[in-house]
Amino acid sequence: MTSSIYQKSTMVALLEGVYDGTITKEELSQKGDFGLGTFQALDGEMLAVDGDFYHLREGEAVKVHSKDILPFAVMTYFKGRTEINLDKVLTQKELEQQLEANMSSQNVFYAIKVEGAFQQVKTRTVAKQNKPYPPMTKVAESQPVFELENVKGTMVGFFTPAYVAGIGVPGYHFHFIDEYKTAGGHVLDVTVEHVKISLEEKTSLELDLDNTQRFRNADLDKEDIQKEIEEVE
C-alpha cells in the first residue's frame, strides 16, 4: 500500500531513552524502500532511499547490515508522485514554504525527497549511548554537528501533522546523504541551490509499538512533548 506509512516505536519513547533495537534492517526493508530512523543505543541515523539503507554515524555514511537493529524507524514505499524543480537558492524556511504550497493539507502525512545541489547542509548524527540510557534531551546537548558546503545529494524525510506530536516529529524531519553516499546525517539546517522535490501524500499510519519491558515501564505521559521534541530535533 503506497499510501501508508509504517512506523516502529514512537518519538516520545526515544525522548525517554528507550533506545534498544527491536527491528532489523531486513524486516524494515519489507515495510518500504524509503525512510529514516535511528540505531541500537542511538548509534547514528538511518536513511533509506530506493531500497538502499545507509547508516550515518559521525557524519559518515556506510551501508546498513541486514541484521542491524533499530529502536525507531519510519518507512514507506515512495514513487514521488508530485515533482517540482526549484532553480534558486532557498533557505530551509523558504523551502518549507514551497513544500507547503504543494501540499493539499497539513492534516495528512507526506513523504518528501529533495535531490540536487545544496549550498549548505548542517547535520548531526546522534552518538552511541551506554546504559542506563540518558533521555534524548540530555544527549542532544552534546550532539556532534557537521557542515557540508556546495554538495550534491538527497534529503529523505516526512511531513507529520502537528497533532501527531509524541508519536512522530511534528512538521519536517529530514536526513541527508551526499551523492557519493559517504557523508550525511539528521538535517538541522539547509540551504538548497538547485533541487528537484518529489512528494507523496500518505493517509494511513501503521504504528508498531516497542514491545520491550523498558517501553512498557517508561513514563511517556509528558507535559510538553512539542517543546522536548524541538530540543532534540
Binding site for Zn ion (CB under 5 A): 186
Q: 5 forms bridges with which residues in the sheet?
A: 76, 205
**Residue number, 42 or 83, with CB nearest to Zn ion:** 42
Specify whether the CB–CB gap between 186 and 175 falls below 8 A. Answer: yes
What whole-number distance in Å separates Cα of residue 215 and Cα of residue 17? 9
**Residue number, 124 or 202, with CB nearest to Zn ion:** 124
CB of 173 to Zn ion, least distance (A): 6
CB of 229 to Zn ion, least distance (A): 11
CB of 36 to Zn ion, least distance (A): 6
On the CB side of 4, how many CA atoms lie within 13 Å of its CA? 8
What whole-number distance in Å separates Cα of residue 24 and Cα of residue 75? 13
**Residue number, 55 or 186, with CB nearest to Zn ion:** 186
Distance of CA 218 to the CA centre of its chain: 23
Q: What is the four-CA torsion angle of 166, 61, 70, 127, rounded to 10 degrees? A: -70
CB of 115 to Zn ion, least distance (A): 18
**Residue number, 57 or 186, with CB nearest to Zn ion:** 186
Reported as type and span, the H/E element at residue 27 is: helix 25-28
CB of 87 to Zn ion, least distance (A): 28
Which residue is listed with cell 537493529? 69
**Residue number, 113 or 186, with CB nearest to Zn ion:** 186
**Residue number, 88 or 227, with CB nearest to Zn ion:** 227
Q: Using CB atoms, what's the residue nearest to Zn ion?
A: 186
Straight-line distance from the first to the last Cα atom of the chain, in angstroms, rounded to the nearest whole number:
29
3-state secondary structure of 145: strand
Specify whether the CB–CB gap between 156 and 174 falls below 8 A. Answer: yes
CB of 182 to Zn ion, least distance (A): 19
